[in-house]
Structure 1
């Protein structure tokens, strides 16, 4: 039996826990459909993903990917412009792949969730009403019809690993499905607006990227995430995090 020096908790909340044991990640999902989706998405994705070692529900074991995260929310990224462009190119490759055989959230569902979250944020005194209403108005620009693509669904900087200027792996596929390509680009650049031009360059000059829609998706992501983060032990108010991003937009 291999000797393991440490067992570390990567993340733990009511929906999921992830442990790192040596070079193996163990994910335990409360909702098996999310785990099923993650496994299916990784098998279909045309970009680097973690190697699945074994699966015994509710546990999924995967090998660690090489490299380091592209960045962290609330902190400047030390990754090169070329690394950010490579992340954009990886997103483009995914978005050009055949659609997965399951649907993502509809715009009607997103709008309904937004309305509920905005009401809860205001009623609970979590954020000022003016900030919430301003963010909700801005979010409308994201809720427009778009050509569906194979979307990662949580394409944030900590889920994209790079080694130098090369993407070595993209993790956490449980939100994958069909959806708006710009949501992935917005998720990647949330809190890193200065890197958007690099990502768009890597995505491809032949695509007319709607920056206003990306900014609107930033507002959507912040509004939908803030209360969940606070309820699960994360600090949405830390410098550069979701609350600061929302304030910068409104």
Structure 2
């Protein structure tokens, strides 16, 4: 009998691992639709879809290990981080997916709403929210859309040595801002940005990447707390916000 591991679980989604199979259970089948289609058209390594019986999606485990974890030093080599950057460039250069992503107005509205709640509920100090809200402004500009992963956390990029072996969790994939993917990959690992860009190449706006670090952290803090995660842990989202002060 294979041991069952709960990878993540909250009131919207759960992921279980049984041997080399991941079972993803999602209350919103639209997200699963996006994930399956995105993996089918992405030009970089993705998990194999074994079967789908809503609300469950079964995926084969990808080889290798995650690039790292938020709040912990990454032991992956600079070449592995550069390989991740090269894979992101390949994705961003691919044809656009047929579905849109969040609009600039939607993102700005969410940012404003989250900042208001953070202050009203006294979740974070006012100066921390105000400073990072100002930094985040640089991300709120028109961009040329590319094929983005949409949730490119370092735990979603797997490597073996200096090669990318798979990128997982595609439910947020859409047309979006290239700088957003680069920011999410390096969130909390600013020291690795140079390695990523060595593989990614040119056409990068560092101020916008920094702005996305602030924006992503601001809009994530309340959700993380409400779903049992700890954005106040060392090296995580609140520390990312403090680093902009």
Number of aligned residues: 245
Kindly state the Cα deviation for residue 219 of structure 1 after the two structures are TM-superposed.
0.4
Kindly state the Cα deviation for residue 208 of structure 1 after the two structures are TM-superposed.
2.8
CA distance in structure 2 between the partners assigned to 1:124 and 1:235 by the alignment: 17
Which residue in the other structure is 2:221 paired with?
226
Q: Secondary structure at the match of 1:62?
A: strand
Which residue in the other structure is 1:211 paired with?
206
Which residue in the other structure is 1:242 paired with?
237
CA distance in structure 2 between the partners assigned to 1:95 and 1:198 by the alignment: 18
Kindly state the Cα deviation for residue 171 of structure 1 after the two structures are TM-superposed.
0.3
Q: Equivalences for 1:151-166 in 2 at 5 Å? A: 151-166=148-163
CA distance in structure 2 between the partners assigned to 1:40 and 1:232 by the alignment: 27
Kindly state the Cα deviation for residue 243 of structure 1 after the two structures are TM-superposed.
0.2
Q: Equivalences for 1:59-98 in 2 at 5 Å? A: 59-98=56-95
Which residue in the other structure is 2:22 paired with?
25
Deviations 1:128-170 (A, max 9, x none): 1111111111101011111100000001100000000000000
Which residue in the other structure is 2:130 paired with?
133
Kindly state the Cα deviation for residue 209 of structure 1 after the two structures are TM-superposed.
1.0
CA distance in structure 2 between the partners assigned to 1:187 and 1:244 by the alignment: 15
Q: Secondary structure at the match of 2:243?
A: helix
Which residue in the other structure is 1:143 paired with?
140
Instruction: Give TM-score, length-normalised by structure 1.
Output: 0.97
Kindly state the Cα deviation for residue 86 of structure 1 after the two structures are TM-superposed.
0.3
Which residue in the other structure is 1:176 paired with?
173
Deviations 1:49-97 (A, max 9, x none): 0000000000000000000000110111000000000000000000011
Deviations 1:149-204 (A, max 9, x none): 00000011000000000000000000000000000000000000000001001002
Instruction: Give TM-score, length-normalised by structure 2.
Output: 0.99
Q: Which runs of 4+ in 1 moved over 6 A?
A: none
Deviations 1:197-227 (A, max 9, x none): 01001002xx231101000000011001110
Q: Secondary structure at the match of 2:22?
A: strand
Kindly state the Cα deviation for residue 15 of structure 1 after the two structures are TM-superposed.
1.2
Deviations 1:93-119 (A, max 9, x none): 000110000000011100000000001
| Structure 2 gaps, min length 5 | none
CA distance in structure 2 between the partners assigned to 1:14 and 1:110 by the alignment: 23
RMSD: 0.6
